[in-house]
């Protein structure tokens, strides 16, 4: 099975294989991502954190080799066309190390990004999954059977996590321990809290269905509160959008035309710069709004 890591120019499995030779250097980079071990667990990436860092070193070295080749090609073309300048000679060596360095930093933080992505997917389904367990347990179905139904249900990442818990239980792990393992590895605080409270109810012998009902109501209220907060944030964001994408370009064009006629500088170049800037702003703004939207299932 191929390891899911963000490698380029080399397959993930080869990066991990060759990374074993650099594993002794991996502890030197632990300080860059202190939570890497937990991030890998929550991102469902089945790889030791030192092996992961070592694979990142391999990918970075491959990128260094690639940048050296590209830089050499650029230098040859520049020399042939008589375009070689001090700026080119100074920039290329810097790029050889900056590009791999930036990618290595991204590589180390990739599990954290994946954990955030999984959190959003879990938050979308946790209310429905909790509700099914509550209904099943309330109707007299054993907790294990209710968990099995959720595992076989259509709850995305939540079902996948419960499937893993069911496999542990069927292999002989006590039900409480399997649920505790589930709570430790999921990145979603809502699901983690749900499992912890349900575990306490099971261990204390209290009403599990009633406890799950309270948890479900709490999750719904939290998601509704998150949506209200998000709606409140949209008003200033929309005003900023109108100001930057509508008001500033129209006023800016008028100002540039006036200044251009007075100072006699080229306004055509500036006019060509504005549309790409607005396009980049549109993409950035849509991404920001989408990322700030809470993951809800109500």
What are the start-end ranges of the H helices in the chain?
12-19, 36-42, 49-80, 86-138, 143-151, 157-170, 175-185, 189-204, 208-242, 248-263, 267-292
Give the pLDDT confidence score for residue 260 in this predicted structure: 66
Measured in degrees and rounded to the nearest 5, phi and psi for residue 174 equal -55, 145
pTM of the model: 0.73
Q: What is d(CA 49, CA 52) in angstroms, rounded to the nearest whole number?
A: 5
Burial zone of 157 (CB within 10 Å; 0-12 exposed, 13-18 middle, 19+ buried) = buried
Give the pLDDT confidence score for residue 90 in this predicted structure: 67
Domain boundaries, the chain: 12-120, 122-219, 230-292
Give the pLDDT confidence score for residue 162 in this predicted structure: 94
pLDDT in tens, the chain (298 residues): 445 788 777 888 888 889 999 999 999 998 888 899 999 999 988 899 999 999 999 999 999 888 888 888 877 877 777 766 656 666 777 778 888 888 999 999 999 989 988 998 998 899 999 999 999 988 888 989 999 999 999 999 999 999 999 999 999 999 999 999 999 999 988 899 999 988 998 888 888 888 888 888 888 888 778 778 877 777 787 787 777 777 777 776 777 777 666 666 655 656 666 677 777 777 777 777 766 777 665 5
Give the pLDDT confidence score for residue 84 in this predicted structure: 62
């Amino acid at each position: 099975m191929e390891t899911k890591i963000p490698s380029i120019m080399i397959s993930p499995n080869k990066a991990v294989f060759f990374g074993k030779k650099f594993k002794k250097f991996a502890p030197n980079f632990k300080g860059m991502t202190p939570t890497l071990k937990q991030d890998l667990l929550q991102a469902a990436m089945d790889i030791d954190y030192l092996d992961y860092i070592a694979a990142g070193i391999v990918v970075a070295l491959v990128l260094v080799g690639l940048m050296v080749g590209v830089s050499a090609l650029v230098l040859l073309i520049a020399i042939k066309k008589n375009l070689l300048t001090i700026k080119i000679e100074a920039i290329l060596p810097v790029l050889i190390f900056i590009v791999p360095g930036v990618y290595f930093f991204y590589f180390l933080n990739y599990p954290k990004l994946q954990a955030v992505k999984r959190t959003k997917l879990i938050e979308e389904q946790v209310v429905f999954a909790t509700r099914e367990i509550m209904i099943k347990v309330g109707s007299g179905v054993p907790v294990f059977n209710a968990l099995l139904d959720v595992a076989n249900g259509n709850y995305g990442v939540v079902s996948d996590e419960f499937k893993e818990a069911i496999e542990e239980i069927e292999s002989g792990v006590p039900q409480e321990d399997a649920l505790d393992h589930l709570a430790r590895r999921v990145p979603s605080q809502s699901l983690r809290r749900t499992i912890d409270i349900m575990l306490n109810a099971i261990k204390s012998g209290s009403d599990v269905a009633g406890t799950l009902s309270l948890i479900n109501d709490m999750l719904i209220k939290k998601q509704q509160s998150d949506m209200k907060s998000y709606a409140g944030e949209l008003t200033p964001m929309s005003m900023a959008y109108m100001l930057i994408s509508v008001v500033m370009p129209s006023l800016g064009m008028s100002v540039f035309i006036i200044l251009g006629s007075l100072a006699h500088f080229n306004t055509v170049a500036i006019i060509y710069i504005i549309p790409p800037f607005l396009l980049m702003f549109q993409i950035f703004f849509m991404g920001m709004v989408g990322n700030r939207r809470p993951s809800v299932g109500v």
